[in-house]
Amino acid sequence: MRKRLLLIPLLLSFSPILFAGEDHFSGLNDAQKLALSEAYQAVGEHFIQTGEEDRGRSYERTADVLRNQIADLSEAAREMQKNQQQAAYTSPAAPAVTKVSDEDQKAVGYYFRKLVRALLAENKDKVLSLLDNPLAMEGYLAGVPREKIEADLDTIFSAYDLTIYDMEDLYNMEDLSFSYRDSQSEDTVIVEAKAAFSGAGTPLDKVIFWKDVQKFYFKRAPKGWIVFAIL
């Protein structure tokens, strides 16, 4: 197994326990904090069940930090349920059914490669410019705020020299799949990117958000395309 595989979990599941202080979550409302705390709790339980108790307890402590900042848990729960019901009508998980035009496929493919190159070049500003705020991710009902992603990118870039890797170390770049999210609209394109590796016994076995296929949801922006969800 190549040594480079060891860095992938950090790239794809920005560690949620590094910046769990109260100031970090100050921009979230109570409903968002409750949703995020439930996500952290679930991730913590997952790691505990798979034998990583210390890591799991750290996630659970982050969940506690969030819950302790909520003034009225009952009201937050009602608002969170309302938000989830509204999100069901616009969920990025809606099936893609329409073939993407050659023009849009070329454009979105360009921006996807640009995102991966920016990560490997450790260009934080470029990465952030290609991501929506907040960024929807599986398990994070409230989305991941920009401050969180920015802080975790700083940590990753200081811990690893990503500049020695290439795009093919992450994904099979010759086998990207493109589709429109909605047959009635061409404003959202889904890029399905297959992992360049998989299988039992790799470090990815215990990465909660890693899948053999990652789905990047791009939407039209004033200047090009940006990612608003990764599922």
Q: Does 83 or 187 have the greater pLDDT score?
A: 187
Per-state percent for the chain, helix, strand, coil, to nearest 5: 50, 20, 30
CA angle 25, 190, 42 (to 5 degrees): 40
Mean pLDDT of 191-202: 69
* Cα–Cα distance for residue pair 155/149, rounded to 1 Å: 10
pLDDT band at 229 (very low <50, low <70, confident <90, very high): confident
CA distances from 218 to 103, 210, 222 (A): 14, 19, 13
3-state SS class at 88: coil
pTM comes to: 0.60
Query: Which two tokens mark 158?
Result: 């200081």
| Window from 51-60, 83-92, 165-174 with minimum mean pLDDT | 83-92
If you average pLDDT over residues 16-23, what whole number do you get? Answer: 41
pLDDT-derived band at 126 (thresholds 50, 70, 90) equals: very high
Average pLDDT over residues 198-209: 46
Listed residue (1, 3, 16, 2) closest to 207, CA to CA: 16
In angstroms, what CA-CA distances link 2 with 8, 32, 105, 128, 204?
A: 11, 39, 32, 28, 13
- Residue 41 in this model has a pLDDT that exceeds 50: yes
> Is the pLDDT at 21 greater than 60, yes or no?
no
